[in-house]
Amino acid sequence: MTVRKVAMLTAGGLAPCLSAAVGGLIERYTEIAPEVELIAYLGGYDGLLRGRSIEITPQVRASAGVLKDFGGSPIGNSRVKLTNVQDCVNRGLVAEGTDPLQAAAEQLTRDGVQVLHTIGGDDTNTTAADLAAYLHEHGYELTVVGLPKTIDNDVFPIKQSLGAWTAAEQGSLFAQNVIAEHSANPRSLIIHEVMGRHCGWLTAATAREYRSWVTAQQWVPGVGLSQAAWDVHAVFVPELAIDLAAEAQRLSAVMDEVGNVNVFLSEGAGLDAIVAELEASGAEVPRDPFGHVKLDKVNPGQWFGDQFSKMLGAEKTQVFKSGYCSRSAAANEEDLALIRACTDLAVDAALRGEGGVIGQDEDQGDVLRPIEFPRIRGGKPFDTDQPWFDELLASIGQQKGQKVQH
């Protein structure tokens, strides 16, 4: 099949790769297949259902390299699941009684799209797979080539998701500023809440990046500027159980000796216990269209802050969330190299009609390839047995908790 028209969309939450990935796709098509018409759906699957798209003009093609210098998505995002019919109806995306998959398929058909590039997490890409399967069943062949975007780095079987390295680096920069707040009050407790619903990779990687910065600084203990006060004192991730009483005892000693405590917390750590507590009290647990608990409504950081504040005798407790800062950044050099490799391969695969999600396939020796859609799924846990994580916990005197089975 000769490819004449290609569409792209970004979906889900932001990550430090979307703008660079859009630019990379445009540059690669312009380089090796300039005759191919390019369009972008605005606002992800929302724009696809509404038929809102823009042409990638020659002027945009000539400036596509600029996109790598920015965070966010130049073509907009949304959280829409095409198989959640009622949610699509409630949003006014389709009429009552209309199948969103059918509506999306008809729009792609009207637009004459033969290749769809989706840049998003597991929900985005599995939704695209559902769409491609629907079209195939109805006699319309669409090649879908996805790119893995999630700062949680939690997609099976992909070794490294686009934007995750940058998010960890940005989380460290965020911490370098907010942890200075420990000096504003005696017995200060700071909770640095990091994104990560089911996977603690980002929290662990952020703590590692931050601690590397801490250990590289010069300190002046004589005036109270000490590594101990700025250091990481605890790292809590969803994959490991948290013994609140034992940790409170350990951290109380830190508070008494150092005068403050700094905790790096995955937003999903201890979530089961928090949800169980809410449900037991009769409170409704808010969820999004994908069935995920709305973490901003549940507020795990505040819950942990309340628990530890009493146990440690903190005079002031502050919860800082780095997620929106981290996920909205422009990609760093390490991510840009991975993004470029992925977008180049994505275009090459699309032109030869090979669908899948481009990533380093952990089941095939980390080879970068189009991974089959049925093998893509979210919820990959952080491997807490990695040596660097053991070294991190040991360096701050924290015992590793028991593994949690979700």
330 close to 19: Cβ distance less than 8 angstroms: yes
HEC assignment per residue over the chain: CCCCEEEEEECCCCCCCHHHHHHHHHHHHHHHCCCCEEEEECCCHHHHHHCCEEECCHHHHHHHHHHHHCCCCCCCCCCCCCCCHHHHHHCCCCCCCCCHHHHHHHHHHHHCCCEEEEEECHHHHHHHHHHHHHHHHCCCCCEEEEEEECCCCCCECECCCECHHHHHHHHHHHHHHHHHHHHHCCCEEEEEEECCCCCCHHHHHHHHHHHHHHHHCCCEHHHCECHHHHCCCEEECCCECCCHHHHHHHHHHHHHHHCEEEEEEECCCCHHHHHHHHHHCCCCCCECCCCCECHHHHCHHHHHHHHHHHHHCCCEEEEEECHHHHHCCCCCHHHHHHHHHHHHHHHHHHHCCCCEEEEEEHHHCCEEEEECHHHCECCCCCCCCCHHHHHHHHHCCCCCCCECCC
Say which amino acid occupies 370. P
List, in order, residues 6 or more apart from 339 with CB less than 8 Å away: 17, 20, 21, 24, 68, 162, 331
Give the separation between CA 253 and CA 256, rounded to whole angstroms.
5
Encoded tokens for 244 = 């609140």
User: Which active-site residues does the annotation give?
Assistant: 152
